[in-house]
Structure 1
Amino acid sequence: MAHFDLLTRPWLPVVTSQGPAWMSLREALQRAHETQLAAPGPEHAALLRLLLALYAAAARPADQEQWDAAWRAPALDTDGIGAYLDAHADRFDLFSSDRPFWQSAHVTEATQDVRGLDVAAWSSGAPQFAQHLLREPAPVDAADAAVGLVMLQAWHPGGIRTGHPADPATRAGKVYGSKPGPLSTMTHLRITGACLKDELLLNCPPGTRAAGDAPVWERDSATAPMHKREAAGPLDWWTWPTRRVRLFADDAGRVSGIALHDGDRPDSPDQSAARFDPGAALTGRGTRLAVADGAGHLLPWAPATLLDTSADTGTCAVLAHVTAAAERGTLPPDLRVEAAVLRAEHTTGHRAALSGIIHLHAPLGPAGTLADPDRRARLVEAARLPWRMQREITHTAADTLGLLAKAVQSRADLSLAPHLTAGWEEFTSDPDDEADSWWKCLALAARQVAGAKGTGSRALSGARMYVAALGALESPAPTTAEDLPV
């Protein structure tokens, strides 16, 4: 029988001072101070959640004092982590007969080929846009299948799934109403780090394990039928068994087929994410933070609005944790704090198929700025200005062009965002000295949008948009949760 031990076999894509490499889970944590994850955005987020769960289960700092000591230490607590991995070493075999990692041993027959592990296959009309799915699939190396498994449990959309024969919810071979995976249900924010050690600590606020909270490898292998239950804490949610999966290996140890059924089903994945995931980025209304406007342009200033803790303008536990570490002086004042933000988009309201995963790079400024409440407030104010100006442009365009506001929001030529990305990057490099340049960038963006409206009545409309946008820039009205898009 095939075996693939995730603790000892290399499968995680990383980069070290010697270049790209692959590491086991154990080696990645032992060498976290000299290693970086080297995966694309959606894959990076999914793998980091697994590593966060491992680190937190083994050695999560219980309070701020312990966290500060861990941050200043040259490496992670490798003794504690090693002892934990040794205690659970039999739970990380990808092909174990009785405890296959993040799978169900009670699922014994393949339902589809390995294309089910491909993110492209989870989209509506996938073969049309990913023609490699039309080719006869070849067996997948165990290392690649392991990454695909982690991605599937994190990102898989909801909808209709093949029902397991033992599942009483199965109707005509199907189960209905399956929930999307944790990352597929929220806007996810992580703070980037110079190495894996830093990234784990920056995205793991201190705390203690709640009663009943346990990662998937500390639990019994899930039974085949779908199970309705609620998450018990972040360890549970970081390793949530979204699907009942089983990987089937050929004689060479490659995955040649998979079983895929509905898994554990919370009542509301959105509420579970808001409650248990420190990376959940939420608006003041409790909805997913928008990272792109109606025309699809990215909004790199959006996460900075969550730094305001004085009102119901949004929350993110990771940002609150990093801000607190900056205020304590644990983070160096000149440390550039940057976020990677991801948000899954779906083809329908049922979130049954992915239409894409938006990946946003969002600089937040130096830790010294975050540490000072007054400077942080000025940063938040600067991040709100594009919303206010865009709101005025949208309302004015709707009035003067006779359009619905929703139609205006989807027009690329009326969007400030594509004119501001470079300006935000420059401003956040030094918010104290670059405030004037950000103001000028905003004014120029308003002129560029307004000046593209042609002649006659359209030129008059452009002039009115420009005046309205400058009015918001010079005398901004208060921003409420209703002003921020979702």
Structure 2
Amino acid sequence: MSTSYPLTTSGWIEVYDLDADELRSVGITEALTRAHRLVLGSPGSDGIVLLRLLAAVYDAACGPADIIEWDAAWRAQTLDTDRITSYLETWEDRFDLLHPTRPAFQCGALQEYNRGAQALDPATLGGDSGAWFNEKLRNIPAYGYPAWDPAEAAVRLLWLLAYDVAGIKGAVPGDPAAKKGKLYGSHIGPVAFLTHLHLNGTTLKDTLLLSLPPQPRTPGDAPVWEQPSPPAVTRIRPALGRLDRLTWPSRRIRLHAASDGKIDGIAFYDGDRRPVTSNAELEGLDPMSLWRTTTKGASTPLSIIAYDWVKPWVPGIALEPGWMGRSALIEHLIRAAERGVLGDMPISATVGEIIYSNRHQSTISADLVETRRLGTGWTLGDPEIRSAQARRARFAEAFQRALIRELKEAFGRPGSRYEPKLALLGLERHWAETVELEATDTAQAAHRWRDYVYEAGDRGIDFLPLRPHQREIFKDAARRPSRSAQSETPQPAPPAPTGTPAKSGRPATRYDWKGSQLSLAELAQLPECTVNVQTIRNRLKAGQSLDQAVTAPARSEPAGTGAPKRSRGRPAATYLWDGAERSLAEIAKLPECQVTLQTLRNRLKAGQSLEEAITTPSTRNPKTT
């Protein structure tokens, strides 16, 4: 029996209907023609893949080519419903999920269904642990995996195309690149590779326009439904443009429908791969992404995660685009806000990132998506307010790094197990509060945010196995801004005028010395003290009593006390690996490093990525253990 499921008119996209005041499911046509009265209702990464699809359809149908068209579309009551309807009628067959020869977002050439219905379940990408959290997967041996309704299967199909993991994939029969029926080196999904970011307005119409900077269609660019059906075999090719990137066929998939129309299995193989090029090209193609610049000047996704937790301030970093963070959408937002077309509409940013259980990116451990407030159209159009929010965001980022730096000073490498305790948790509500306060008082917002950040840091430090006076030293050291972070420290609100000007920042920690409360600097000036301030601080960190730290001569320090000696000259460069900042010498000692320190250094100088330099075995100069 022939079946059909037109995605243009069938209800499969969950939205909140402002007119009906309820959640309901709509097709692509209604989602776009009534976008001004709808809000996308699917949570998390499901909402991300649906938004990217709707953005691609709208952009292909009548997306604004320049600022004038964009402003006109923003001011219009609706999107261009006539052009949208006409476009979808033209390509209607290509949006049929179960079309006999050209099923939507699939490969019609596939005929062998090699996986069951469970392959559409995102929990299967969690490896063996996925079954622990998914009752359907646990029950497969006894009851089998239940078939999917076409509406659910359509969302799961888009999710798998966007987020599938890397690793070894089965090869379609006849693929010349196959080795014993397998393909190696499969890339992760195109959205999983990025740090996703999109902007939200009041309605779906606002969100679509905020998430699509105006630009004409690149010559030759086309979404997947306008292109010839992809061949069954894997291809390596560059993206044709923004539309191609938003609908990239990363896997060859075909759904199998049972007689009742439900999806009970799939054909699943590797799909199109992007050639290895710089991320700068990708950054220009995909507007819904967040980036930073490495110390070597390369573009790389800006992580929003610290120890399995989304940092609420990260989108704010991009409000002043620079090496720490930038986004094409944020820059698009700023330009629109400065033109005054956004009015006082509240704007938020949704960010998402995938956490993997292994360095091969073959198993997903978490799929994190959060939405954070950025301000209103008026505040985001004010350079002073925008800059103040960016400084607050960079301050929190710098302080988080300072906490980890001091942890290493206090514990050395074994201290890495305590790093999650120093994550600046519980700041989500405070970020929203200070964004709102910033509209009227940037100085007071900075003052409050600084206090909230310090309090969050103190809570983490209090969990560390330190003596009370050592904790105070740790807190004091973490709050001393480094040269690179000094300009990011929010200044407190001006104090009331007094006879003596007060210094900004946290007061120095004081210690009880013979009945007087003295700072470390004052202790170092005492006649009985024969060492400098840093030596006192190092001795206290090492657990010495205050009397020993102050009065013991430098030459009488027992071995192993104080801070470890540092080599003279320039400090060793550090690299982020496995969630920690490490020197090359430390990385070379890790079990996963396949080469010697010198080979590692040479590879980085030659322009290889850190992961390639570490994990690619050497045939000429193998590492010995």
TM range (shorter): over 0.9
Give 1:369's aligned amino acid.
T
Q: Structure 1 residues 26, 346: CA separation in 2 closer, same or farther (over 3 Å shift)?
A: same
Which residue of 410, 425, 429 corresponds with 2:432? Answer: 425
Amino acid at match of 2:191: L
Q: Give the Cα separation in 2 of the matches to 1:312 and 1:392.
A: 19
Q: How does 1:258-269 map to 2 (within 5 A)?
A: 258-268=266-276
Deviation at 1:163, TM superposition (A): 1.1
Alpha-carbon offset, residue 438 of structure 1: 4.5
Tell me the CA shift for residue 366 of structure 1.
2.3
**Selected match of 2:467 from 455, 458, 471:** 458
Aligned to 2:58, the other structure's residue is in SS state helix
Query: 1:454 Cα deviation (Å)?
Result: 7.7
Q: What is the Cα deviation at residue 129 of structure 1?
A: 3.1
2:498 is matched with none
Q: Deviations over 1:398-431 (max 9, x none)?
A: 22x323397177231x23x214222111001231
Paired letter, 1:81: I
Q: 1:320 aligns with which of 321, 331, 343?
A: 331
Per the alignment, residue 127 of structure 1 pairs with 131
- Find the aligned partners of 1:264 and 1:76 in 2 and give their Cα distance: 32
Residues 245, 260 of structure 1: 8 Å contact kept: yes
Read off the aligned partner of 1:75 and give its amino acid letter.
T
Q: CA deviation at 1:45?
A: 0.2
Give the AA of the match of 2:201: G
Equivalent pair of 2:352/2:370 in contact (CA under 8 Å): yes
The 3-state SS of whatever aligns with 1:471 is coil
Q: How does 1:74-223 map to 2 (within 5 A)?
A: 74-125=77-128, 126-135=130-139, 136-223=144-231
Distance 1:457 1:38, change over 3 A: closer
Match of 1:283 in 2: 292
Distance 1:245 1:456, change over 3 A: closer
Quote the Cα distance in structure 2 between the aligned partners of 1:249 and 1:424. 48
Unaligned runs of 5+ in 1: none
Instruction: Return the letter of the residue paired with 2:248.
Output: W
Amino acid across the alignment from 1:73: A
Shift of 1:457: 5.5
Alignment check: 8 A CA contact 1:419 1:445 kept: no
Answer yes or no: is 1:353 the counterpart of 2:353.
no
Instruction: Report the alpha carbon displacement of residue 144 of structure 1 after superposing the two structures with TM.
Output: 1.0
- The structure with the largest alpha-carbon Rg is 2
Seen in structure 2, the aligned counterparts of structure 1 residues 365 and 259 have a Cα distance that, compared at 3 Å, is: same
SS at match of 1:307: coil
Is the aligned partner of 1:298 residue 2:310? yes
**How far apart, in 2, do the equivalents of 1:289 and 1:207 lie?**
24
Distance 1:447 1:20, change over 3 A: closer
Shift in Å, 1:196: 1.0
Query: 1:154 Cα shift?
Result: 1.1
Instruction: Report the secondary structure of 1:150's partner residue.
Output: helix
Aligned counterparts of 1:454 and 1:231: Cα–Cα separation in 2:
49
Equivalence for 1:9: 10
- Does the 8 Å CA contact 1:273/1:280 hold for their aligned counterparts? no
Q: Give me the identity figure in percent.
A: 34
The 3 A distance-change label for structure 1 pair 79 and 224 is same
How many angstroms does 1:87 deviate by? 1.4
Separation of aligned partners in 1, 2:314 and 2:61: 34
Q: CA deviation at 1:27?
A: 1.2
Q: Is the 8 A contact 2:375 2:436 kept in 1?
A: yes
Q: Match for 1:322: what amino acid?
A: L
RMSD in angstroms over aligned alpha carbons?
A: 2.5
**Which one is further off, 112-121 or 420-429?**
420-429
Alpha-carbon distance in structure 1 between the residues aligned to 2:81 and 2:239:
28
Q: Matched residue of 2:198: which SS?
A: strand
Cα pair distance change 1:441/1:66, threshold 3 Å: closer
SS of the residue corresponding to residue 338 of structure 1 reads strand
Counterpart-to-counterpart distance in 1, 2:101 and 2:415: 53
SS at match of 2:291: coil
Q: Secondary structure at the match of 2:169?
A: strand
Equivalent positions of 1:359-438 (< 5 A) are: 359-399=369-409, 401-404=410-413, 407=416, 410-412=419-421, 414-415=422-423, 417-431=424-438, 432-433=440-441, 435-438=443-446
Of 220-229 and 448-457, more deviation after overlay is shown by 448-457
Stretch moving more, 64-73 or 437-446 = 437-446
For the structure 1 residues 337 and 270, does the alpha-carbon distance in structure 2 shift closer, same or farther, using more than 3 Å as the test? Answer: farther
Instruction: Name the SS for the 2:177 alignment partner.
Output: coil
SS in 1 for 2:375: strand
* SS of residue paired to 1:240: coil
The letter for the 2-side match of 1:263 is G
Tell me the TM-score normalized by structure 2: 0.72
Length, aligned pairs only: 479
**TM-score under structure 1 normalisation?**
0.92
- More moved, 377-386 vs 54-63: 377-386
How far the C-alpha of 1:441 sits from its partner, in A, is 4.5
* In 1, Cα distance between equivalents of 2:177 and 2:484: 58
Q: Give 2:159's aligned amino acid.
A: M
- 1:296 to 1:406, Cα distance in 2 relative to 1, 3 A: farther
Conserved 8 A contact 1:366-1:429: no
AA in 2 matched with 1:291: I
Decide whether aligned partners of structure 1 residues 411 and 2 sit closer, same or farther in structure 2, where only a CA change above 3 A counts: same
Structure having greater relative contact order (Cα 8 Å, sep ≥ 6): 1
Give the 3-state SS of the residue equivalent to 2:342 in structure 1.
Answer: coil
